[in-house]
């Protein structure tokens, strides 16, 4: 055993379980690709200032959870705690918004890093698939992204997820609501840190999970009651489009999420089978973020879905994913001559698109066949000196146990025919 272990709050993805994570990522990405979203990849670390401006200095993510460090050259960098700010930075830097084809629609997949208190469903290193539509203000775009996430979950077989929906208003109506909320919160019996939050970002207090705080929030002013007419109309259009698409959602007037950049449409995907860590993903509109990063006005909307929590949601519902076999054929050579012949056959099978593995290490028949069965292969390709003297190999069906001869020259087409017949 190694003397080293994975850092606290992190995990390793190992086969065969890692196949489920890959399947979840692919299921989320597929509807995005079908809707015209192109793949984007950004560095795992960025300037601290990017996240301080984009995510918000008053958020727990920046003030408590961000991994930041100083490089040998004196640069202040941070491991990315979320990807929206990084993606928008990349789009602005590459001038994609000047292409004349707005919105810029991109999706990403990767790890995020936050100094969390480790528990099931909450890690210091976690994986997300996300999507961003940059440069257009359109209720249909908000609805599209919510629908695509819902389609991804349903394609996986999930049925127990719920969509919470709210509007956080805009720069016209949110200041009025902010003032009303601050007045209400100042009259509550709250600790010093929460009182500081009232002055910096009072909406974040609504997201407090502590019972002693939540009990006092009964009767707090709600954003939907303070929306301007434009925001009301925008939000109603999003709701109508979702309803017309058959997507069920729940209005949640207290939904604010944990990032400062959200405006108007805000949503969260939750699953009640996950206990306290019920959020599996979420997002919303962030119309002013580009300007916060020094760019032009680019109204945008996006989301991120947690791969880790989606896997937990699948487990909670007892959903077993249909995963492709990692190995279809397992080649077992008996003797040096057979090693050369079967290794060439393995290479040809792989080139033909057949997932094939090989009994490395010169093991005997018994040990090699145990490995073949453990691999999940459908067929074992076996050959010894006597077989090769006759120009043949043995093909064994690992499910039925039936074994037949096949000419060496016909190995590839015969295996393709067998696998096609087995479906």
Residue 35, token pair as written in the block: 């809707």
193 known member of a binding site: no
Residue 330, token pair as written in the block: 């397992």
132 known member of a binding site: yes
Strand, helix or coil at 129?
A: strand
**3-state secondary structure string, 202-252?**
HHHHHHCCCHHHHHHHCCCCCHHHHCCHHHHHHHHHHHHHHHHCCCCCEEC
CA distances from 184 to 127, 206, 208 (A): 38, 12, 15
Distance from C-alpha of 61 to C-alpha of 79, rounded to nearest angstrom: 12
Q: Are 133 and 301 in contact (CB under 8 A)?
A: yes
114 known member of a binding site: yes
Neighbours of 57 (CB within 10 A): 13
* CB-facing half-sphere around the CA of 58: CA atoms within 13 A: 15
Neighbours of 301 (CB within 10 A): 31
404 known member of a binding site: no
128 known member of a binding site: yes
Nearest alpha carbon to residue 395 among 376, 370, 374, 377? 377
Distance from C-alpha of 212 to C-alpha of 341, rounded to nearest angstrom: 72
83 known member of a binding site: yes
Neighbours of 310 (CB within 10 A): 28
57 known member of a binding site: no
10 known member of a binding site: no
Distance from C-alpha of 338 to C-alpha of 332, rounded to nearest angstrom: 9
CA distances from 168 to 53, 101, 212, 241, 265 (A): 19, 28, 25, 19, 7
Distance from C-alpha of 368 to C-alpha of 359, rounded to nearest angstrom: 6
Nearest alpha carbon to residue 141 among 7, 259, 300? 300
151 known member of a binding site: no
> Phi then psi for 174, rounded to 5 degrees?
-70, -40
Q: Which residues are annotated as a binding site?
A: 82-84, 114, 128, 132, 257, 261-262
- Numbered residues of the known binding site for L-histidine: 82-84, 114, 128, 132, 257, 261-262
């Amino acid at each position: 055993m190694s003397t080293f272990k994975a850092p606290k709050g992190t995990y390793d993805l190992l086969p065969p379980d890692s196949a489920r994570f890959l399947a979840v990522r692919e299921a989320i990405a597929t509807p995005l690709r079908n809707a015209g979203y192109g793949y984007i990849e950004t560095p795992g670390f960025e300037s601290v200032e990017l996240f301080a401006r984009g995510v918000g200095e008053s958020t727990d993510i920046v003030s408590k959870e961000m991994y930041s460090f100083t490089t040998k050259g004196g640069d202040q960098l941070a491991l990315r705690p979320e990807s929206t700010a990084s993606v928008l930075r990349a789009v602005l830097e590459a001038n994609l918004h000047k292409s004349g084809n707005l919105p810029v629609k991109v999706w990403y997949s990767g790890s995020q890093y936050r100094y969390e208190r480790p528990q099931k469903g909450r890690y210091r290193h976690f994986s997300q698939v996300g999507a961003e539509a940059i440069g257009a203000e359109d209720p249909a775009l908000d609805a599209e992204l919510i629908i695509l996430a819902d389609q991804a979950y349903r394609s996986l077989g999930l049925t127990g997820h719920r969509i919470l929906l709210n509007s956080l208003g805009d720069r016209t109506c949110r200041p009025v609501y902010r003032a009303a909320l601050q007045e209400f919160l100042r009259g509550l019996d709250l600790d010093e840190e929460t009182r500081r939050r009232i002055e910096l970002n009072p909406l974040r207090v609504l997201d407090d999970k502590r019972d002693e705080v939540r009990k006092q929030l009964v009767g707090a002013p709600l954003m939907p009651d303070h929306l301007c007419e434009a925001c009301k109309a925008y939000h109603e259009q999003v709701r109508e489009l979702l309803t017309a698409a058959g997507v069920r959602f729940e209005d949640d007037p207290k939904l604010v999420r944990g990032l400062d950049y959200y405006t108007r449409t805000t949503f969260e995907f939750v699953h009640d089978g996950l206990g306290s860590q019920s959020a599996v993903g979420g997002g919303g509109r962030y119309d002013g973020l580009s300007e916060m990063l020094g760019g032009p006005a680019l109204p945008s909307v996006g989301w991120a879905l947690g791969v880790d929590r989606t896997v937990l949601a699948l487990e909670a519902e007892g959903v077993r994913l249909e995963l492709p076999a990692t190995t279809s054929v397992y080649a077992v050579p008996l003797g040096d001559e057979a090693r050369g012949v079967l290794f060439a056959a393995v290479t040809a099978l792989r080139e033909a698109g057949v997932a094939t593995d090989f009994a490395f290490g010169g093991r005997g028949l018994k040990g090699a066949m145990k490995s073949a069965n453990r691999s999940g292969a459908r067929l074992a390709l076996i050959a010894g000196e006597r077989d090769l003297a006759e120009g043949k190999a043995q093909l064994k069906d690992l499910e039925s146990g039936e074994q037949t001869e096949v000419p060496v020259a016909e190995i590839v087409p015969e295996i393709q025919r067998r696998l096609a017949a087995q479906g």
